[in-house]
Amino acid sequence: MRHSGFTTLILAATVSAGAHAGSIWQALPAQPPIPADNPQTPAKIELGKTLFHDPRLSSTGTVSCASCHSVMEGGDDHRPVSIGVHGQAGGRNAPTVWNAAYHSAQFWDGRAATLEAQAVGPVTNPVEMGMADLGAAVGRLKAIPGYAPLFEKAFGVGDSITVENMGKAIAAYERTLITPNSPYDRYVRGDKRALSPQQRRGMTAFAETGCAACHAGAAFDGPTRPMGQANLMRFPAFADNPYVVRFKLDEDPGRFASTGKEEDKHMWRVPTLRNLAYTAPYFHNGAVKRLDDAVKVMAKTQLNVDLDPSTVADIVAFLDALNGEFPAQTMPRLPATPGDLVE
């Protein structure tokens, strides 16, 4: 499983060369992909931030995007599974919204091709935000007088409060949620002091163990693909071990739940490894609380490798080097609520 000499040569070459195309080590780009039909503008971003934090997009007026994806910390909610309208528990762990803009597909199973599509999905999910349909969500926004000028500023005068524009605005805001300049990023750009000796050992162990086979690319979520083409892998790949039973890793069929295709059973989008210190508990069901345990689980279930404690500690140290700089967040002032908006 390990090829120390060969991998060490790769590490030395790629780090010295920097984050060039084809390198197994790539720094996070300065900005994520931005679709031609949804360019970034300050007005659109501000509207998206407002919508992201507005619980009135839910049927009960109590759940916003930020309820499950807090940008004041890790972009998730630290629950095994999130809580939606009427106190209902969801079926999967809330993935972080930080750096989601770099993913080629969204949701745990990659079923949404774009951030725009993902942004409106939870609104009508009966367990999450519970609106009857997207038309009802648009009607809710139109009933709040303060939203009309915000949409017009972002999208122009006319019938600008639409489902499409709602998704575009939220996605535009989410594309500002990136965490660059981690110690790892500085290291691959040439700052040899950015990583500690243990983190450098962990970087080597990460590659030699085989972790980079799936967690490649600048976001550690797989190789770069066109938008809509998810990086999917089977999880668990090796199911005959105690971890699968202990953490119930194979109870959710993954992408199969969305497609009904047999070949999609237990297929999952490869998640980012950035900012893991901020996103516990781990995996699609939030069953693993500690990062060192998550490393051991992944090594055994995906590579059939039992890691010794020192190697686990080194890999965890390297993963901590992927914690980037969070841009400052200010909370939006939501438009005033009419008294008869939510019954």
Q: Is 284 annotated as a binding residue?
A: no
For CA atoms 337, 149, 130, 98, the dihedral sign is negative
**Does 65 show up as a binding residue in the annotation?**
yes
SS3 state at 254:
strand
For residue 330, what are the contacts with CB-CB under 8 A and spacing of at least 6?
Answer: none
Asked if residues 255 and 141 have their Cβ atoms less than 8 Å apart, the reply is no
Longest Cα separation, the chain: 70
- Which is catalytic among the residues 46, 73, 116, 128? 128
**Residue 1 annotated as binding?**
no
User: From CA 279, how far away is CA 173, in angstroms rounded?
Assistant: 20
Cβ contact 96:108 at 8 Å: no
What does the alpha-carbon distance between residue 79 and residue 137 come to, in Å, rounded to a whole number? Answer: 26
Cα distance between residue 97 and residue 264, in whole Å: 24
Half-sphere exposure of 267 (CA within 13 A, CB side): 16
Q: Which residues of 31-50 are buried (b: 16+ CB within 10 A; e: fewer)?
A: ebeeeeebeeeeebbbbbbb
Q: Is 78 annotated as a binding residue?
A: no
298 is in an annotated binding site: yes
- Residue 278 CA to residue 82 CA, distance in Å, equals 16
69 is in an annotated binding site: yes
Catalytic site residue 128?
A: yes
Which helix (H) or strand (E) covers residue 14, if one does?
helix 4-17
Alpha-carbon span 322 to 278, nearest angstrom: 11
Answer yes or no: is 3 a known binding residue. Answer: no
Q: Compute CA distances 45 → 41, 137, 151, 153, 310, whole Å.
A: 6, 19, 11, 11, 44
Strand partners, 233: 268
Cα separation, 343 vs 197, in Å, equals: 59
Are 204 and 263 in contact, with CB atoms under 8 Å apart?
A: no
Residues in binding site for heme c: 65, 68-69, 211, 214-215, 298
Residues in binding site: 65, 68-69, 211, 214-215, 298
Active site residues: 128
